[in-house]
Amino acid sequence: MADLGEASGAARNGSSPESACFSAFQRVTNATDLDAPFEGAGSTLTSASSRATARRIRRTRQRLGSYRHELLVAMRVVNSIEREMVQSEWENWLADETTRCDQLRTVLAEEAVRTKRGGETKRGGEQKVLPPVEGEARQATLRAWHDAYCGSCRVEQRALAQGRDPVTGL
């Protein structure tokens, strides 16, 4: 909680820690035990105004503590929603990538069949179109990329289907 106070600037004030007046106020503030009953707040203080101040401080701190708790719970809920949203988007994206990989695999397989045949005939065999050499290099590059990238996607998809992290295996 001290970190929250520092982050919000609530812990700062313009008083000098060596000031006798500020030290007296700190004693009143420190006399407000949040675990003690409300009526007992500042009961060790001699002045009625100091006891009233201690009770106000305690009551306000309790309310602020409740607000902090509610904020922390809300932050946890928001974080949980964000994690679920990112996980859902990951699953959707992975499914899309897997579909694209399947489509590319089909295209690569069709081109490999055409290449093995030595080309494709146009218009019932009238003209033979040979694949260019650079096309074969492009296919090899695409196949290598497909194997690496799409292989990674398949590993992720299997891990997701089994409900575990592909990196840690947990």
pLDDT along the chain (170 residues), means of 10: 54 71 84 66 76 86 94 98 97 96 92 73 53 72 93 95 70
Is there a domain that residue 84 lies in?
A: yes
Is there a domain that residue 169 lies in?
A: no
What is the CB-side half-sphere exposure of residue 85 using CA atoms within 13 A?
6
Q: Has this prediction a pTM greater than 0.75?
A: no
Is there a domain that residue 10 lies in?
A: no
Q: 38: domain range?
A: 16-162
Is there a domain that residue 68 lies in?
A: yes
Is there a domain that residue 117 lies in?
A: yes
Cα–Cα dist 31/44, whole Å = 7
Is there a domain that residue 1 lies in?
A: no
Cα–Cα dist 94/87, whole Å = 10
What pLDDT shows up at residue 29?
80
When divided into structural domains, the chain yields a total of 1
Length of the chain: 170
Residue 76 Rama label (left phi>0; alpha psi -120 to 50; beta): alpha
Q: Which of 112, 102, 82, 116 is nearest to 149 (CA)?
A: 102
What pLDDT shows up at residue 133?
54
- The dihedrals phi and psi of 37, each to the nearest 5 degrees, come to -60, 150
What pLDDT shows up at residue 100?
96
What pLDDT shows up at residue 127?
54
Is there a domain that residue 9 lies in?
A: no
Is there a domain that residue 4 lies in?
A: no
